[in-house]
Amino acid sequence: MTLQAHMLEQQAHYPEATGTFSWIISALSISTKIIADKVRRARLENVLGNMGAENVQGEQQQKLDVIANDVLLRTLGGRDGVAIVASEENEEPVILRDDASGERRYCVLFDPLDGSSNLDVCGGVGTIFSILRHDRRAARAGDSLLQPGLQQVAAGYVLYGPSTVLVMTIGQGVDMFVLDPSIGAYMRVERGLRIPAAARSYSVNEGNRRSFPEGYQRYLDWAQEQGYSSRYVGAMVADLHRILLKGGVFMYPPTAKSPKGKLRLMYEANPMAFIIEQAGGKALVAPGRRVMEVQPEDIHQRTPIVIGSPEEVDHVVARLGAA
Ligand code: P6P
């Protein structure tokens, strides 16, 4: 079954549906097919490397960051159901449509090319997206974006790896699609994905270990005593796709360089948390505090995160609180 047929099948469950939401998913589908092609041809077309400029995050912008961002802005901009888009690469959200018409509209937030520093070495990179209902009652249009992750109507990612894989949820479980380049369509390969409850593997940048809060160091000592393996790609989408399929736990604790954590709440942590929770996993910012409960104050705010198999997240939490 293609993604398009899957969306029509899902839409049929909602008689009041107008197709607006499906059109947005179709825009994300075509955008990521274009990005996949550009990622694979990057070195041939000499679009690797950085722009020589920094983005709003203070990070070196890769040429493909800008290209992927432009593709998403242009494609989503053409969908009447999109009121606002917000991107890791744009300091301010783009208000596309905010008229008072009764039309239900949506906000789409995205990290256009997560882990793009991996591009030059042919490592995994991905696109992450989060979809919220547009809230016209917000005092300022942009404030409509400041909704907790629990308000997401959909979230997903595309991993540009040996194959191009789309994983998404609309709140009814997690489905996986693989791009078939011969026909240019995403084909559904898994329905109702469930994350393994446990797996002896953790994913963290241990280069920052010395500045982790003590509880995280206690966990790493414990995991290494238990003989856990360590896997870290440096691209959240690639690390979490592995964990979704094989189990384990990913964490980005507070560090000296990123005292509030490095990952962005709105378009990295929230969408990945929605997917992992829908697959039976856990996603926390601190013991007992879910990522998706955080009330955002800024669209680019950062957060610590512990996310993955439920039993493995519990092992981390047990040591965060331990004295
Ligand atoms: P570090 C990529 O830049 C990213 O935002 C995530 O995809 C990834 O998990 C993390 O940062 C890697 O950060 O500090 O380990 O290089």
Q: Is the pLDDT of residue 44 over 80?
A: yes
Enclosing H/E stretch for 274: helix 270-278
pLDDT at 323 over 60: no
**Stretch among 45-59, 121-135, 209-223 having the lowest mean pLDDT:** 45-59
Interval between CA 39 and ligand 1 midpoint (Å): 18
For residue 101, pLDDT over 70 is answered with no
What's the CA-to-centroid distance between 221 and ligand 1, angstroms?
A: 22
Q: What is the mean pLDDT of residues 109-118?
A: 94
Q: Is 93 exposed, middle or buried (0-12, 13-18, 19+ CB in 10 A)?
A: buried
Burial of 257 (0-12, 13-18, 19+ CB in 10 A): exposed
Q: How many residues are given for the chain?
A: 323
Residue 236 has pLDDT above 70, yes or no: yes
**267 burial level (CB within 10 Å; 0-12, 13-18, 19+):** buried
Return d(Cα 36, Cα 4) in angstroms, integer. 18
Q: Whose CA is nearest to atom 1 of ligand 1?
A: 234
Helix (H) or strand (E) holding 218, with range, is helix 214-225
pLDDT confidence tier of residue 224, bands split at 50, 70 and 90: very high
Distance CA 301, CA 320 (A): 23
Element of type H or E holding 76: helix 63-77
Q: What is the CA radius of gyration of the chain?
A: 19
Confidence of residue 61 (pLDDT cuts 50, 70, 90): confident
Whether residue 98 is predicted with pLDDT greater than 80 in this model: the reply is no
Reported as a single tens digit per residue, the pLDDT across 267-322 is 999 999 999 999 999 999 999 999 999 999 999 999 999 999 999 999 999 999 75
Q: Are 111 and 72 in contact (CB under 8 A)?
A: no
Q: If DSSP codes are grouped into helix, strand and coil, which group holds residue 124? A: coil
State mean pLDDT over 72-81: 94
Distances from the Cα of 300 to the Cα of 13, 58, 266, 296, angstroms = 35, 12, 7, 9
Phi and psi of 243, rounded to 5°? Answer: -70, -40
Name all domains of the chain by residue range, CATH numbers in brackets.
3-190 (3.30.540.10), 201-320 (3.40.190.80)
| Ligand 1 in reach of 279 Cβ (< 6 A) | no
pTM of the full structure: 0.95
Q: What is the tens place of the pLDDT at every residue in 163-201?
A: 999 999 999 999 999 999 999 999 999 999 999 999 999
Token pair, residue 230, equals 């360590």
Q: Which of 57, 89, 114, 300 to mutate to test the pocket of ligand 1 (most atoms within 8 A of CB)?
A: 114
**What digits encode the pLDDT tens for the residues 238-267?**
999 999 999 999 999 999 999 999 999 999
Give me ligand 1 centre to Cα 114, in Å.
8
Residue where the block lists tokens 């990005």: 35
